[in-house]
């Protein structure tokens, strides 16, 4: 099994450690927002290492919506490129762990529908999109297998 490389961002590494170390019973919200997060585990496209990222918990039925906002930064987050390179990931949602395959949703009606669900779950996504020139990518999960 590949080595786990914690995020260089302390708050991200700390959140993952608390969330996973508790078996999915602690560290379940984004900092002080009270809004739920999931942990996405993927393979680094350059290092091959295991990477773990807390993302907002946004669901559409039984599928997860992953939004590569990076707070409206000018570039996509590193995990975006990892998911494009290797779409088979694991999602921890509290105590449940799901093996899923994700794909980026292209521009169009389905992306708009999923984006609206994401903004309803985490309203800052709207501000993030307004402050960047890039179209913030949206992924949707499907159960693997």
Q: Per-residue pLDDT for 144 more than 80?
A: no
Q: How far is CA 40 from CA 94, 97, 108, 130, 134, in A?
A: 12, 10, 25, 25, 23
Q: Per-residue pLDDT for 79 more than 90?
A: yes
Provide the pLDDT confidence category of residue 99 given band limits of 50, 70 and 90.
very high
Q: Can you read off the two tokens belonging to residue 107?
A: 């521009």
Average pLDDT on 16-28 reads 95
Strand partners, 6: none
Average pLDDT on 116-141 reads 97
Q: 3-state DSSP call for residue 95? A: coil
Which CATH number, 3.40.50.620, 3.30.450.20, 2.30.110.10, 3.40.50.10800, labels domain 10-143? 2.30.110.10
Domain extent listing, the chain: 10-143
Provide the pLDDT confidence category of residue 23 given band limits of 50, 70 and 90.
very high
């Amino acid at each position: 099994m590949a080595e786990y490389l914690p995020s260089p961002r302390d708050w991200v590494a700390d959140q993952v450690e608390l969330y996973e170390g508790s078996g999915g019973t602690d560290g379940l919200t984004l900092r002080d927002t009270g809004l739920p997060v999931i942990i996405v585990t993927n393979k680094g496209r350059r290092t091959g290492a295991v990477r773990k990222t807390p993302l907002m918990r946004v669901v559409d039925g039984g599928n997860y919506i992953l939004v590569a906002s990076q707070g409206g930064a000018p570039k996509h987050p590193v995990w975006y490129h990892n998911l494009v390179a290797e779409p088979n990931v694991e999602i921890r949602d509290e105590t449940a762990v799901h093996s899923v395959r994700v794909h980026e949703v292209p521009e169009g009606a389905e992306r708009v529908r999923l984006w609206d669900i994401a903004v309803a779950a985490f309203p800052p996504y709207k501000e993030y999109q307004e402050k960047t020139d890039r179209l913030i990518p949206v992924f949707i999960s499907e159960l693997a297998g």
